[in-house]
Structure 1
Amino acid sequence: MRVLIIGAGEVGYHTALRLSRENHRVVLVDQDPEKIKAVNEQMDVQTLVGKGSSPAALLAAGVREAELVVAVTDSDEVNMTACRFAQALAPAVTKVARIRSMDYLHFFEEHDPRQFGVDLVINPEREVANQIMQLIYVPAANSVADFAGGKVKLLGLRAPVTSPILKRPLHELRMSEGSRFLVAAIERDGEVIIPRGDDHLRADDRAYVVVREDMINEVMEFFSLRNEPVRKLVVVGGGAIGRLVAERAQRRDIKARVIEKDEDRCQMLVDQLDDVIVLHGDGTDMSLLREENIGAADVFAAVTDDEEDNVLIALMGKKMGARRTVARVAHMGYVPLVSSLGIDLVVSPRFAAVGAILRYLRRGKVLAVSALRDEGAEVIEVEAQATSAMVGKPLAQVKMPSGALVAAVVRGEEVEIPNGQTVINPGDRMVIFMLTKVLSKVEKLLTVSLEYF
């Protein structure tokens, strides 16, 4: 696929890097020569110094040959203008715009964005709010991703050192618990591996577990984890993320409090949120946190605009006894480092934006994509086609590449955690876990006609 990316900030940079590694033809446009220089030093893509909203720059970048335009500058107006000109210059091209303004987002909720030259609107703050709410739905997990309309969950779990699961080889778990869940991958020492049957989990591992929605509580018990419902939520930071999380939590009858140091923003939150306590104060003030009994919070989320403050606030919340802590960081590269500090969930709007773009890049019968945070592995939900080499035979006879496995099969309303005797039928939805290095091999198995990107 030929992709034109407007904006070489972190979102544009990492999107281009990901696609270039997967042999897509990428053209990256930015008006900052230093950013373009950095791109040229790090990846094999075409670049152009120019304003992405300029028709001349779009033509010079080859918009008429592109299949997809992704506008991800820091300016909503530039992104929308770039898409409108791209529409005029290349009517068949698909256009994605990153939009941060809630005013624009509300407008696009009421009006089809395609009327304004945009096929898909992505909003990083909403993506992050979704991640935090998924943690609230399954608080014992470190990460949550939904497939098949929520019928299948991908959970990141860390078993405590006392859990008996750590002493059992995975093939034994597979035999006794196969209908409940599947350990699809293990993140160990910063590396994602697809485990073998004789492997077993270690205390420091993050296990990526595919589970049927109705079996979540049973699986948590099996991992010796408490999945007690969230009743008390404290959010530090009343910006777009904090407001969205508090609003959604309130709808689920969760007692929510928001701490915000900007007095005008506090008043705005009071006007917008019902049954949510808004406190004017500094989230880094330990005396304030003690006064508000932060240690009793089920989820304590620090989502201010200052990533250093967020890390500090989340660590203080953890020390005070909050059950689950969340920190927002700006730089994508900091996510693994901050996660290692013991914070339960580290979220990045930029990382979320890349994930949203990645989902949309999948075409054909690929229905959903969830990329892991180190970008070394991902999970896809794909509809099986009659031409696929995976259809009509037991999975044991399918030559799946090393580093990929079918983790779940959805047939109508039924969800199956498959084994070697499972047969895939046309129209079945498969959840496939794979290392990105075997992506092209999985593509060939899925169907000869499927364009994976």
Structure 2
Amino acid sequence: MKIVIIGAGEVGYHVARRLALEHKDVVVVDRDGAALRRVSDSLDVQVVRGEGGSPLVLQEAGIREAEILLAVTDSDEVNLVACLVTDMLSPNTRKLVRIRNADFDACHSLLREGAPHIESVINPEIEAVRTIERLIRLPGAVEAGELVGGLVQFVGIRLDEGSSMDGMPLPELPKYLGSAKVLVAAVLRDEKLIIPSGKDFLKAGDLVYLVSGKKHLLQVMEAFGKASKPVRRVLIVGGGRLGLRLAASLEKDHYQVKIIERRSDRCRELAARLEKAVILHGDGSDQSLLAEENVRGVDVMVTLTGDEQTNILVSLLARKMGVGAAITRLTRFAYFPLMSSIGVHQIVSPRLSAIDSILQHIRRGKVLSTLSIQGEQAEVMEAVALPTSDIVGRPLSQLSFPKGALVITIIRGDEIIIPSGDSVIAPDDRVVIFARRKSVPKVEKALTVKLEYF
């Protein structure tokens, strides 16, 4: 698979990095020489310097041989022009484009249906808002994702000190949870990701990744000591594009929303575009302002400024002042492993959300969705089991499935199956697979070809 990526920024760089590790043929195009040097110095990919919308540059990048064009520069206009020119030079190349401007929201279907025949329009802010809303609905969860249209829930829960589950062997967990169908997909302990076996146990401080049917999720959360009152009051620090989009969405669901924004002109714009949200002009890191606004009575604070260091500090301050939960926007992936050690647990990254959306279109086989875990340590993939794959027709215990990967759910029609070693995948079942990053290429092959061939 050859992929041409227009844009060597954070999204372009990290998608190229993931794909290079999976031994795909990647070409990165950017006009910024420094950005390209970062790519060429650290990744095994080709680079081409120039404008992504230039026909000559695209031909130099080998667009006619490319299966996919991925346009992810910071300019929506450049991304769209690159897709248009690609459509003229190589009509069969699949085109994925990142568009951040909310003015294009109503045009996504038109872009997919008309010229330049874009396969997918990805807005990282839309994906980030969905992630935030899932965390708001589950304030006891550190990470939360939905699969199979929301029927299957994937959550990460921190096991507290003094929990009755401290030291519990995993085979005994189903007895403790009663009728709730749940599977432990992975455990993060001391920054080490563990794919559990029957010999493993839970330990206080673990970040436990669970997969459960939607109807059993609250029962599971309560069993892990994460029962909480419904969230009604949300305070957003930072009224940029993402803050506005989140506030508008929360208003529709009847949350009580306040926004703190330090730019007076932006405050006026927010007041004009939102119906019910209270707009406060000030600095979200000002402790006296937070106290004046009774931050202790806030159910969830979401820090969405453009400065991630401010976001981290405000989240820590909010938790110290008694806020129920704090969700923090981060952009630098290098910060992810450090956050839990300083007390920042609920993280949202628009860039990571964009990468997840992109990868589901690049993966081989009928991959329907992907979720990144702990930055980029692992991945959850939802896919359709093809009749040609050797994962169908035999008990899971008899499959030589890739090391570091685990089938965590089988969906057959309306039935959600938490699998055991005796479970059998049928053709056209939906399967959810948890895989370490290094195992993903083999999982891709397992979804499309016979396992004995690799």
Matching residue of 2:27? 27
Query: 5+ unaligned residues in a row in structure 2: which ranges?
Result: none
Cα displacement string for residues 54-110 of structure 1 (whole angstroms, at most 9, x for unaligned residues): 110000000000011111111111111111111111001111111121223344366
Cα displacement string for residues 172-200 of structure 1 (whole angstroms, at most 9, x for unaligned residues): 21465485211110112222220121211
Distance 1:121 1:113, change over 3 A: farther
Matching residue of 1:36? 36
CA distance in 2, matches of 1:267, 1:116: 37
Matching residue of 1:10? 10
Matching residue of 2:413? 412
CA distance in 2, matches of 1:114, 1:133: 32
CA distance in 2, matches of 1:316, 1:40: 40
After TM superposition, give the deviation of residue 339 of structure 1 in Å: 4.1
Query: 5+ unaligned residues in a row in structure 1: which ranges?
Result: none
2:141 aligned counterpart, secondary structure: coil
Q: Retained in 1: the 8 A contact 2:221–2:227?
A: yes
TM-score, normalised by the number of residues in structure 2: 0.94
Give aligned pairs, total: 450
After TM superposition, give the deviation of residue 388 of structure 1 in Å: 2.1
Distance 1:325 1:68, change over 3 A: same
Query: Structure 2 matches for 1:70-149, cutoff 5 A?
Result: 70-108=70-108, 112=112, 114-149=114-149
Q: Retained in 1: the 8 A contact 2:364–2:448?
A: no
Q: Quick one: percent identity of the two aligned structures?
A: 43
TM-score, normalised by the number of residues in structure 1: 0.95
Cα displacement string for residues 5-37 of structure 1 (whole angstroms, at most 9, x for unaligned residues): 111111111111110000000001111222222
Q: Retained in 2: the 8 A contact 1:217–1:227?
A: no
CA distance in 2, matches of 1:62, 1:395: 42
Cα displacement string for residues 289-327 of structure 1 (whole angstroms, at most 9, x for unaligned residues): 001111211110110112221111111111111111011
Distance 1:318 1:187, change over 3 A: same
After TM superposition, give the deviation of residue 404 of structure 1 in Å: 1.4
Matching residue of 1:208? 209
Q: Retained in 2: the 8 A contact 1:368–1:381?
A: yes
2:165 aligned counterpart, secondary structure: helix
Cα displacement string for residues 427-451 of structure 1 (whole angstroms, at most 9, x for unaligned residues): 211111111222233334333289x
Q: Retained in 2: the 8 A contact 1:324–1:344?
A: no
CA distance in 1, matches of 2:384, 2:373: 21
Distance 1:112 1:45, change over 3 A: closer
Q: Once structures 1 and 2 are overlaid, which stretch shifts more, 107-116 or 387-396?
A: 107-116
Query: Structure 2 matches for 1:322-361, cutoff 5 A?
Result: 322-361=323-362
Matching residue of 1:185? 186
1:235 aligned counterpart, secondary structure: strand
Distance 1:338 1:376, change over 3 A: closer
Letter in 2 for 1:144: A
CA distance in 2, matches of 1:380, 1:22: 15
Q: Retained in 2: the 8 A contact 1:179–1:416?
A: no
Q: Retained in 1: the 8 A contact 2:365–2:444?
A: no
Letter in 2 for 1:256: V
Matching residue of 2:48? 48
CA distance in 1, matches of 2:236, 2:368: 33
CA distance in 2, matches of 1:103, 1:401: 44
Q: Once structures 1 and 2 are overlaid, which stretch shifts more, 394-403 or 93-102?
A: 394-403
CA distance in 1, matches of 2:228, 2:182: 16
CA distance in 2, matches of 1:364, 1:379: 15
